[in-house]
Structure 1
């Protein structure tokens, strides 16, 4: 700070718009920023011909329950970004899935704060292992895309601390991101990027966060209020209504409304983040470097194989027999590729986009396209089963598909539902008559397998009519190969659901997307006004989160609602059993138990530890992931995260736990396979 001349032009403190020029006389490098949730993004091919490795959807990474896979994915993205001369990545999405139809659910890590926080933290740690900055985003409560610029998320402090903020807190503790990106929406009346409680009191005071807060692109609404509330950098200024942190900032500084000390703090925080991430010690080169895309594709394929979830498998229809002579694949462009999600996370993957459909309307039309990665399930299955006749039918004609299905040894229907940033569908149903297609095919062939390429849960009115269902999410640039290996048993499925799948929309805390119906009416009325913007002419509105901290499976438990598939669910081609639980450890928070592979092949299991206080609902407090040979037994110990057991007491303020708890080891959030009681000594934990 001594080198910053008081009264120097504020132009030296350049606001961010994707590229922030450095200050050579102080040895401060330029900051080159890229979206990078699932790979180094290149939406609508802004950089012609620039490809990158595309990971599966973040929900698929969450479904692995494997921190090492999250770290490896982050490390791969960070390495590619560095080779492309980027040193700041807008990554680390950790918003909880509160509603099953969220447009960006695929970019996030599920509904549980512990799982999301751990996996996001490891992803961030992987990115920053390359001396590249990672953000954590979108802080906080960017829980829906409908009206994201104008909605006011309302929730009491204790519930916030026990859910969404806990996910951010764990991610920050574990990953130490150099920057936090604040969100578009309001929280309890104030925009996230000018929310003193959120930025100054929680993030910087209570959590002791040393790095800098950058805005999301277009999320700034003021100069003085934002700067004094804790915003350190205006980003994406071309999307804001004004250059709040340029001339208006200089005027406020000169008038004394913003102090020199606050300006010093803003600069210091940016420098601390950049230095701690290693950007100054290991500056990026200015010319692109060679990337080993083949090796990085293996990272993407491993994530896909570990995150694909086997939802149903009656009579061991899967894995497919290699003796199958005729296999029919239907729908989902499975002849050429696999679907990806849309928006700022879109990666132009190696191999190109065999299918790309521009949008003609909606808030995402300017920067999102329905894009498929060039990873053909058809070709991958032919490679595994070279002696079989494998044919593809588009599925556009349900009766033609049913005729093709008759007489096949097995039929695989690929059902797709696209999701994107900036807009939402408003329904959980599969689009384009795909439910009818599946029913027609299942009626023609009782060995019909459904593969879902979706960004979250969908309704399954045909579920009782098919013997097997696979949740593939958006499986990334090696998704076709991963699916083929799962289908034929080269890989034993091990993914577990990081979100609850409802039986019907009415089971969710909100049976429809708040504001969505009004938005559709407003967009219809404003169809001739392309300048309506992201809100589409929708007026400001509030969302009262009635579930409080009981997000996802906690809500279903509290309301005694049986979902279609519970959080944590996922089948294997083998079976596992748990026995002999014992609670111990210095704090009485460690549960040890036996895990046995009771099946006939090697497999990976993910035993989950749930804890409930007397009269309270269960919460995921930890998990393990282990591979066991047939008949093998291993003793496993899981230590519960104490803040999951605790309640947040605003009068302390801090976390308070202690008393009698029920510890359950299960395969899902509804499984009571093995349970025991234990008393935990009373204690408090700082905020």
Structure 2
């Protein structure tokens, strides 16, 4: 018997053995991250975990370290689906290590607006590039025998009012843009799960959307996996099961389970719908290897990968060099250590690296290499001089450097129930508490230990979370009271909410002090999650900003080259809210401008997950975008800055000079609705329609060598899918990699308004100096199609298109005609 037949037989046997109550329970979370075990049918618990840059596991705590890869924007900037596949494989490896069966990633929503708060967690503004990277990622995760969950289905492109917003998306835009990556990944990678988003689309909540989940996802695309709700997104039992939702998370308090069984008995839901959903959940369990008698989808995972090495490779391959000017006869980058006596490294973010975005994408790596650490290790002693120059943000952050803390759990009588070592000041327990601790018995959690300052002066302390707090530092009580939120607050406010300052204490460098934060746990009646979440926050002494800038300028003036690292903060880019500005926080722009005025070899490293304004960009020698680069940030940065490796990235999203220039910016609903009035014109499509020029165009990126484009040939048989063959030559002096991009310009005129051009294919090529490289690139068939809203079908538009090969959408080198005859799709 084949594995598929054996798996199906085991699923059907298990389903026949279950009564209605068990089938309904199977569709409801058994906890924050698990589905229930049912030993009598040989079903073990199925464990889920957030991604996409790492595998957190069931413990949202730094006590269980995870590999931290670069952000999804960084992965997309590599323009390399095979590298994305290796990323998926190493995360499957991490998932197996942590006992995780289903990874809640990747995010294939689009960069509709640069203000989107989770911009860093999605790949691109372009659906084709998103689909290519997402397909590679899913294939890699599932190569390793772990399921991937493609999310957030669909049009979850902003965070404002995310639980209730009704995104009004024209059908053509929905098909050509927002559904397109999901469709491609489902067709080519066969993911085991898809996550239904919080939002509504055209008046129907996604967890209840029969048209999109049943008619499109399952019937039209042939998806045979599970649909799982985003956490707390399922709100109505009958509408959810009729709308095609299989799993309501988290549990045990959910709209499925007993509520679903009762709805069947009341005649509100046919039992056949419960059977169909339970069958899909059992198939998921079978694929994951947690159903007895069913062969797992993968019994021999791929060879182990070195996670730290891969994190470093992805980071340097993702760095996008957008500017590199000639200074004194040579390019500013790479910096030649043999000819450089002094390098100034400046910026608060150079010492305290921002490696990932805030929210559910957060993991806790065992080590983080900051830019300061990486460059200090790579350069000879005495070459590097560091000064902070400017603090990226004035807000308090989770206590980290210098803190040694333990979480002590007590009951109402003060008896210790259990304890857990903390790697930072955050307690984020959701459904899984330390050994010996139950939510019912838990009354207080004390984060207790010591803090050893690295600077003398007034240190600020604060809290985040809801409930009672008593904060004591060096014997002084800074706060003793209750912190509450409003009735309409995001359910994840304790995890994602704003910091609250509680006071300052003057401390001495190197002198340890005792610290304690006692949190009285809140237990709202009928709360959907039994969670404990709060944070001890800290900020180092705030030196005089003018003195910090003056110090940095003096260090830069005495150096042969100055590297300034600027960054966003967790309060600028995170799940839970959208941005209101693209400006860098604090006085970082002033720092760059003043350093550039005294050092002509000023290199700026931009540490953000999404576009920011760079008002000084034309006045510095080089600009390198390094996204959120993951735990190996500093090693990868040293590789690239010092020339051991080439920056390999190309922009996956258009970078505006100013927010006001961006064609699509609206993320704030009006009376609960957010109109996607721009239709199919987002990203570079909108920029070209508006005839506007951004700071840096989609696809842009420089390397350390030069390329000439020598030939473009198109093979097409009319209705067959065309293939473009491109030949390039390395005309520089060192080995390099080029990302060849093919854009397709539609015939002018016609009855359908279309983008001026769209990405239709790409490939990475490598060559030594003077050598050529060639790639055959199959053009995306959908580039010739439009969604016909009247016919509710795809329609191929025949005519003579123009294929354009080049380095970005703004740097197209070669053209060739493409004749499409074809019948309608």
Q: Shared fold (TM-score greater than 0.5)?
A: yes
Task: Report if aligned partners of 1:153, 1:187 keep a CA contact under 8 Å in 2.
Answer: yes
Q: CA RMSD in A?
A: 2.2
Partner of 2:241: 227
Task: Report if aligned partners of 1:42, 1:347 keep a CA contact under 8 Å in 2.
Answer: no
SS in 1 for 2:350: coil
**Compared CA separation, residues 336 and 48, structure 1 to 2 (3 A):** closer
C-alpha separation in 2, matches of 1:98 and 1:48: 33
SS in 1 for 2:179: helix
Partner of 2:66: 52
Partner of 2:371: 377
Partner of 2:224: 210
Task: Report if aligned partners of 2:766, 2:773 keep a CA contact under 8 Å in 1.
Answer: no
Task: Report if aligned partners of 1:42, 1:348 keep a CA contact under 8 Å in 2.
Answer: no
Task: Report if aligned partners of 1:382, 1:390 keep a CA contact under 8 Å in 2.
Answer: yes
Superposed, which structure 2 residues align to 1:450-469 within 5 Å?
Answer: 450-469=604-623
C-alpha separation in 1, matches of 2:138 and 2:290: 15
Partner of 1:406: 557
**Compared CA separation, residues 185 and 676, structure 1 to 2 (3 A):** same
SS in 2 for 1:98: coil
List per-residue Cα deviations over 1:152-203 (Å, max 9, x = no partner): 1111112111011001111222221111101011111111111112111110
Specify which of 13, 16, 21 is matched with residue 3 of structure 1. Answer: 16
1:180 has 2:194 as partner:
yes
Task: Report if aligned partners of 1:621, 1:645 keep a CA contact under 8 Å in 2.
Answer: no
C-alpha separation in 1, matches of 2:780 and 2:616: 39
List per-residue Cα deviations over 1:578-620 (Å, max 9, x = no partner): 1222211442511112111111111000010111211242111
List per-residue Cα deviations over 1:216-259 (Å, max 9, x = no partner): 00111211111101111101247xxx621123212210122211
1:645 has 2:784 as partner:
yes
SS in 2 for 1:458: coil
Structure 1 residue 292: Cα displacement: 7.9
Specify which of 320, 326, 334 is matched with residue 350 of structure 2. Answer: 334
Task: Report if aligned partners of 2:565, 2:605 keep a CA contact under 8 Å in 1.
Answer: yes
Partner of 2:760: 621
SS in 1 for 2:803: strand
1:25 has 2:40 as partner:
yes
Partner of 1:40: 55
Unaligned residue ranges in structure 1 (runs of 5+): 285-290, 352-373, 516-538
Greater displacement, 405-414 / 438-447: 438-447
Superposed, which structure 2 residues align to 1:123-272 within 5 Å?
Answer: 123-237=137-251, 243-272=254-283
Partner of 1:386: 380
List per-residue Cα deviations over 1:395-427 (Å, max 9, x = no partner): 132222112211210110100013111112310
Partner of 1:483: 637
Partner of 2:467: none
Unaligned residue ranges in structure 2 (runs of 5+): 1-11, 298-302, 391-547, 749-753
Task: Report if aligned partners of 1:91, 1:136 keep a CA contact under 8 Å in 2.
Answer: yes
SS in 2 for 1:683: coil
C-alpha separation in 2, matches of 1:279 and 1:632: 52
Specify which of 84, 97, 111 is matched with residue 70 of structure 1. Answer: 84
List per-residue Cα deviations over 1:443-466 (Å, max 9, x = no partner): 121211100110111111111110
C-alpha separation in 1, matches of 2:373 and 2:295: 42
C-alpha separation in 2, matches of 1:258 and 1:644: 42
Partner of 1:560: 691
List per-residue Cα deviations over 1:458-482 (Å, max 9, x = no partner): 1111111101000000000111100
Task: Report if aligned partners of 1:452, 1:471 keep a CA contact under 8 Å in 2.
Answer: yes
C-alpha separation in 1, matches of 2:648 and 2:576: 32
List per-residue Cα deviations over 1:326-368 (Å, max 9, x = no partner): 11111133235443211111110022xxxxxxxxxxxxxxxxx
Task: Report if aligned partners of 1:150, 1:540 keep a CA contact under 8 Å in 2.
Answer: no
Task: Report if aligned partners of 1:178, 1:277 keep a CA contact under 8 Å in 2.
Answer: no
SS in 1 for 2:309: helix
**Compared CA separation, residues 50 and 647, structure 1 to 2 (3 A):** same
C-alpha separation in 1, matches of 2:730 and 2:614: 31
C-alpha separation in 2, matches of 1:583 and 1:388: 56
C-alpha separation in 1, matches of 2:79 and 2:638: 22
TM-score w.r.t. the length of structure 2 is: 0.74
Partner of 2:412: none
Structure 1 residue 47: Cα displacement: 4.1
List per-residue Cα deviations over 1:52-94 (Å, max 9, x = no partner): 1100001110000111111111111111111111111111110
Task: Report if aligned partners of 2:115, 2:665 keep a CA contact under 8 Å in 1.
Answer: no
Task: Report if aligned partners of 1:580, 1:593 keep a CA contact under 8 Å in 2.
Answer: yes
The number of aligned residues is 631
C-alpha separation in 1, matches of 2:816 and 2:650: 23
Specify which of 640, 653, 659 is matched with residue 799 of structure 2. Answer: 659
Specify which of 356, 359, 382 is matched with residue 343 of structure 1. Answer: 359
C-alpha separation in 2, matches of 1:684 and 1:312: 44
Specify which of 699, 715, 725 is matched with residue 584 of structure 1. Answer: 715
SS in 1 for 2:645: coil
Structure with higher strand content: 2
SS in 1 for 2:69: coil
C-alpha separation in 2, matches of 1:341 and 1:407: 35
Specify which of 544, 550, 557 is matched with residue 675 of structure 2. Answer: 544
Structure 1 residue 383: Cα displacement: 2.7
C-alpha separation in 1, matches of 2:18 and 2:355: 53
**Compared CA separation, residues 183 and 12, structure 1 to 2 (3 A):** closer
C-alpha separation in 2, matches of 1:643 and 1:22: 43
TM-score w.r.t. the length of structure 1 is: 0.88
Structure 1 residue 212: Cα displacement: 1.1
Superposed, which structure 2 residues align to 1:42-121 within 5 Å?
Answer: 46-47=60-61, 49-121=63-135
**Compared CA separation, residues 601 and 5, structure 1 to 2 (3 A):** closer
C-alpha separation in 1, matches of 2:610 and 2:20: 52
SS in 2 for 1:339: coil
SS in 2 for 1:543: strand
C-alpha separation in 1, matches of 2:372 and 2:661: 36
Greater displacement, 150-159 / 619-628: 150-159
Task: Report if aligned partners of 1:124, 1:134 keep a CA contact under 8 Å in 2.
Answer: yes
